Amino acid sequence: MILGAYLLFIAACSSSDHDDHGHSGGHAHHAPHGGSLVMLGDHLYQLEMVAHEESSELELFILDGEAENFIRIIAPTLSAAVQADGEEFPLIFAAKSDEATGETVGNTSHFTANTPWLAEHPKFEAVFEVIEIRGQRFENIHFPFPEGSH
């Protein structure tokens, strides 16, 4: 009886072909800061972008493929080109230090950017030319905001 219940439970858990974003994988990824996610590689890493329109700031977090753990990188800045309503803006994220986590510029998962155009253009597409994470190079990364790629 217990074996039958266990097998039924396993079958129910594995029968889901789609997560709540409509792609294969059987589970959903949730942005830990309530932002938007974009996958890098085949579930290797994720970027999370969070907008703070009141302060004209964007935050960017580097996360593992499950969007559960922070991944520190050495880049002091990350650059992107933004397209919004037919206009183009540069976007420069600066590495953020955090005494509580021990993160420093050159060893952080958290970046911030000042975006004076954000209140007028809350929907945009950012394209990162290159981001290096743990020796892997990801190029031409499209980040539609606020929808993300999930």
Tell me the β-bridge partners of 41: none
Residues 11, 50 within the same domain = no
Residue 90 lies in a domain: yes
Tell me the β-bridge partners of 65: none
**Distance separating alpha carbons of residues 71 and 63, to the nearest angstrom:** 5
- Residue 93's domain comprises 34-145
Residues 49, 93 within the same domain = yes
Residues 67, 43 within the same domain = yes
**Distance separating alpha carbons of residues 102 and 119, to the nearest angstrom:** 32
In our burial notation (b when 16+ CB lie closer than 10 A, e otherwise), range 7-17 reads eeeeeeeeeee
Which three-class secondary structure state does DSSP give residue 143?
A: strand
Give the model's pLDDT for residue 56: 95
**Distance separating alpha carbons of residues 121 and 134, to the nearest angstrom:** 33
Please name the residue that has the structure tokens 């990364």: 141
**Distance separating alpha carbons of residues 135 and 115, to the nearest angstrom:** 29
Residues 26, 41 within the same domain = no
Residue 113 tokens read as: 């950017």
Q: List pLDDT tens digits, range 125-136.
A: 999 999 999 999
Residue 150 lies in a domain: no
Q: How many CA atoms lie within 13 A of 18 on its CB side?
A: 5
Give the model's pLDDT for residue 21: 34
Q: List pLDDT tens digits, range 18-49.
A: 333 333 344 568 999 999 999 999 999 999 99
Domains in the chain, number: 2
Say whether pLDDT at 17 is over 50.
no
Residue 125 lies in a domain: yes
The answer to whether 87 and 68 have CB atoms below 8 angstroms apart is no
Q: Which helix H or strand E contains 10, and what residues bound it?
A: helix 2-14
Give the model's pLDDT for residue 27: 53
Residues 62, 124 within the same domain = yes
Under the banding of pLDDT at 50, 70 and 90, the label for residue 15 is very low
Residues 39, 106 within the same domain = yes
Residues 79, 105 within the same domain = yes
Residue 124 tokens read as: 């945009």
Residues 114, 46 within the same domain = yes
Q: List pLDDT tens digits, range 80-115.
A: 999 999 999 999 999 999 999 999 999 999 999 999
Residues 44, 65 within the same domain = yes
**Distance separating alpha carbons of residues 125 and 47, to the nearest angstrom:** 14
Say whether pLDDT at 65 is over 50.
yes
Residues 10, 83 within the same domain = no
